[in-house]
Structure 1
Amino acid sequence: MKIKKLFLNVSLILGLILSANTLLCAQDYVFQVLAIDGEALYMKGDHWQAVELGQSLMANDIVRVERNTYLGLAHQNGATLSLRKEGTYEIDHLSSKVGNQKRNVASKYANLYVKSLKNASNKTVTASAERGIDQNRVKIFLPNSVDVFNDEVILRWKNMSTIDEKYEVKLKNMFNEVIAVEEVQDTKTVLNFKDEKIAKERMIIVSVNSTEFKDQQSNDYGMKHLTPEEAAPIAQELKELKLEITDEQSALDKLILASFYEQNNLLADALTNYEYAISLAPEVEAFRVAYNQFIFRNGLAN
Structure 2
Amino acid sequence: MNIKKLLLKVSFVWGLLLVSSPLLYAQDYTFQVLALDGEVLYMKGEQWQAVELGQSLLVNDVLRLEENAYLGLAHRNGQTLALDKEGTYEVNRINAKVGNRAPGVASKYANLYVNSLKNANAKTANVSAERAIDKSRVKVFLPNSVDVFNDEVILRWDNASSLDETYEVKLKNMFNEVILVQEVKDTKTVLNFKDKKIANERMIIVSVNSVDFKEQHSNDYGMKHLTPEEAAPIARELKELKLEITDQQSALDKLILASFYEQNNLLADALTNYEYAISLAPDIEAFHLAYDQFIFRNGLAN
The TM-score normalised by the length of structure 2 is 0.91
Aligned to 1:210: 210
Aligned to 1:255: 255
Aligned to 2:64: 64
**CA distance in structure 2 between the aligned counterparts of 1:162 and 1:84, rounded to whole angstroms:** 35
Q: Give the Å deviation of 1:119.
A: 3.1
1:31 equivalent to 2:35? Answer no
Query: Is contact 2:27-2:76 (8 Å) kept?
Result: no
Aligned to 2:49: 49
Q: Secondary structure at the match of 1:29?
A: coil
CA shift digits 1:20-62 (9 cap, x unpaired): x7xx769811000000011100011111100010000011000
Aligned to 2:127: 125
Q: Secondary structure at the match of 2:30?
A: strand
Residues 190-269 of structure 1 mapped to structure 2, 5 A cutoff = 190-269=190-269
Q: Secondary structure at the match of 2:111?
A: helix
Aligned to 1:278: 278
Q: Give the Å deviation of 1:124.
A: 2.0
Query: Is contact 1:139-1:218 (8 Å) kept?
Result: yes
CA shift digits 1:127-150 (9 cap, x unpaired): 23x12x222210000000000000
Aligned to 1:138: 138
Q: Give the Å deviation of 1:125.
A: 2.6
Aligned to 2:153: 153
Unaligned runs of 5+ residues in structure 1 are: none
Aligned to 1:175: 175
1:107 equivalent to 2:107? Answer yes
CA shift digits 1:241-282 (9 cap, x unpaired): 000011000000000000000000000000000000000000
**CA distance in structure 2 between the aligned counterparts of 1:266 and 1:124, rounded to whole angstroms:** 25
Aligned to 1:294: 294
CA shift digits 1:158-215 (9 cap, x unpaired): 0011110000000000000000111000000000000011001000000000000000
Q: Secondary structure at the match of 2:78?
A: coil
**CA distance in structure 1 between the aligned counterparts of 2:26 and 2:150, rounded to whole angstroms:** 41
**CA distance in structure 1 between the aligned counterparts of 2:182 and 2:262, rounded to whole angstroms:** 28
Matched-pair identity in %: 77
Query: Which residue type is aligned with residue 165 of structure 2?
Result: E
Alpha-carbon RMSD across the aligned residues, in angstroms, is 2.1
Change beyond 3 A, Cα 1:111–1:26:
closer
Q: Secondary structure at the match of 1:261?
A: helix
**CA distance in structure 1 between the aligned counterparts of 2:155 and 2:103, rounded to whole angstroms:** 31
**CA distance in structure 1 between the aligned counterparts of 2:251 and 2:232, rounded to whole angstroms:** 26
**CA distance in structure 2 between the aligned counterparts of 1:84 and 1:148, rounded to whole angstroms:** 34
The TM-score normalised by the length of structure 1 is 0.91
**CA distance in structure 1 between the aligned counterparts of 2:26 and 2:257, rounded to whole angstroms:** 29
Aligned to 2:82: 82
Query: Is contact 2:168-2:208 (8 Å) kept?
Result: yes
**CA distance in structure 2 between the aligned counterparts of 1:186 and 1:293, rounded to whole angstroms:** 22
Q: Give the Å deviation of 1:102.
A: 2.1
**In terms of mean alpha carbon deviation, does 114-123 or 53-62 score higher?**
114-123
**CA distance in structure 2 between the aligned counterparts of 1:86 and 1:179, rounded to whole angstroms:** 53
Query: Which residue type is aligned with residue 105 of structure 1?
Result: V
Query: Is contact 1:27-1:58 (8 Å) kept?
Result: no
Query: Is contact 2:170-2:180 (8 Å) kept?
Result: yes
Unaligned runs of 5+ residues in structure 2 are: none
